[in-house]
Copies of this chain bind each other. A is one copy, B any other.
């Protein structure tokens, strides 16, 4: 669906370019290692206030990148949006363009919005496909195993270079929401508020399992070559494609698939009696999603990012097993948004966070949006999130 040009212009941050910044110091990691050099890919939207007190850090999910809003000056040809969310979404548009811009949820008339590609990424920030200075070759499996906290420490170091001490807000969905929570725990004095969407304090065992299956699918692909596939002309596309299919189904709800595809056949009214070819529309959809994803994403980044999000466990990391103890240091106001049909990051996870914060007497608000599309709602239900987030951020200004 295209909008009239004037309307696009009025609500868009316009054409943007991803920039790159090299951190001056090594990043210390949870695993005990240090990483240096670290480059961070980033974009900014809006204007930094003279007091530098209007910064919102936006954190992306597993397969996103720094290009969160506006039209890319150098479009890569593939939006980081895919699945249901790709429909009607311009290929050069940022993955959260509906949420970031003048008058939008993250209003660039008021806020200076910063978006970075996360540590371990494959879209400009240092990750397993980056050159290891020790060898002159891509890190591959020698890249250190990173955590969500490591991603956040990298963002902290990046913002130091930008001269930004405090954040008005950290916001993100899914793995992005984990980063927002991690910010509030690691740097309680530097975060005014967090917006945690379709996320959790610790992925439930079924989610751990789905991620393990997706990773195993990559690891078992002989083209993975122990992680040293760069420059060989072969990459574990087959395995990552299967992993991505698993992901896609977990991001959607069963009723959404019923509504969208039903049991319709792809090519004819009759069965074709084929084992190797797609027969149902949903089968074709999955193959298409897998094929387009492997063109734009690095398998090792998938492995490392998936591992980081399964490791994430605020209670274990910061509370000796107690979520309340882990959240005790939080001083940020917290907005939690969950979606009724999200079974990967279910509302119950957000409720646990809400109850823990409320029990500690901390300001917290949970909004559960009734919506049918599952976890992908955090990208699809922009219109209904917008007034909630705008009001939450405005309260801070009062």
User: How far, in Å, is A305 (CB) from chain B's closest CB?
Assistant: 11
Q: Report A289-340 residues with CB < 8 Å from chain B CB.
A: 290, 303-304, 307, 310-311, 313, 316
Pick from B213, B239, B258, B271: contact of A205, CB under 8 Å: B258
User: How far, in Å, is A263 (CB) from chain B's closest CB?
Assistant: 6
Given A213-B249, A242-B216, A313-B263, residue A141 in contact with residue B275 (CB < 8 A):
yes
Pick from B215, B245, B287: contact of A275, CB under 8 Å: B215
Q: Report A219-269 residues with CB < 8 Å from chain B CB.
A: 219-222, 227, 238-239, 241-242, 245-246, 249, 252, 254, 257-258, 260-263
Tell me, yes or no, whether A210 is within 8 Å of chain B by CB.
Answer: yes
Pick from B145, B254, B271, B307: contact of A311, CB under 8 Å: B271
Contact A249 B206 (CB under 8 A): yes
User: How far, in Å, is A175 (CB) from chain B's closest CB?
Assistant: 16
Contact B283 A208 (CB under 8 A): yes
Given A215-B275, A220-B242, A271-B311, residue A280 in contact with residue B205 (CB < 8 A):
yes
Closest to A146 in B: B273
Tell me, yes or no, whether A343 is within 8 Å of chain B by CB.
Answer: yes
Contact A242 B258 (CB under 8 A): no
- When chains A and B are docked, how far (Å) is the Cα of A268 from the Cα of B276? 43
Pick from B239, B271, B283: contact of A220, CB under 8 Å: B239
| Cβ contacts under 8 Å, A286 to chain B | 209, 212-213, 216
Tell me, yes or no, whether A282 is within 8 Å of chain B by CB.
Answer: yes
Contact B204 A216 (CB under 8 A): no
Contact B145 A274 (CB under 8 A): yes
Contact B275 A304 (CB under 8 A): yes
Tell me, yes or no, whether A134 is within 8 Å of chain B by CB.
Answer: no
Contact A210 B273 (CB under 8 A): no
Tell me, yes or no, whether A31 is within 8 Å of chain B by CB.
Answer: yes
Contact A222 B222 (CB under 8 A): yes
Contact A310 B280 (CB under 8 A): yes
User: How far, in Å, is A256 (CB) from chain B's closest CB?
Assistant: 9
Contact B216 A287 (CB under 8 A): yes
User: How far, in Å, is A32 (CB) from chain B's closest CB?
Assistant: 8
Contact A258 B219 (CB under 8 A): no
Tell me, yes or no, whether A202 is within 8 Å of chain B by CB.
Answer: yes
User: How far, in Å, is A269 (CB) from chain B's closest CB?
Assistant: 9
| Cβ contacts under 8 Å, A117 to chain B | none
User: How far, in Å, is A373 (CB) from chain B's closest CB?
Assistant: 13
| Cβ contacts under 8 Å, A275 to chain B | 141, 145, 215, 219, 227, 303-304, 307
Contact A217 B217 (CB under 8 A): yes
Given A145-B273, A213-B245, A217-B217, residue A206 in contact with residue B254 (CB < 8 A):
yes
| Cβ contacts under 8 Å, A227 to chain B | 275
Q: Report A335-361 residues with CB < 8 Å from chain B CB.
A: 343
Contact A220 B208 (CB under 8 A): no
| Cβ contacts under 8 Å, A204 to chain B | 254, 257-258, 263
Contact A246 B213 (CB under 8 A): yes
Question: Would you give the 0/1 interface string for A177-221, flagging 1 where the beta carbon is closer than 8 Å to chain B?
Answer: 000000000000000000000000011111011101101110111
| Cβ contacts under 8 Å, A263 to chain B | 202-205, 208, 313, 316
Closest 4 pairs between A and B when the two form their complex, measured CB to CB = A220-B238, A145-B273, A31-B273, A205-B257
Additional A-B contact list (7), CB under 8 Å, known A204-B258, A209-B286, A274-B307: A145-B275, A205-B262, A205-B263, A206-B257, A213-B245, A216-B241, A263-B313
5 A-B residue contacts at CB 8 Å? Answer: A145-B274, A203-B263, A209-B249, A212-B245, A213-B286
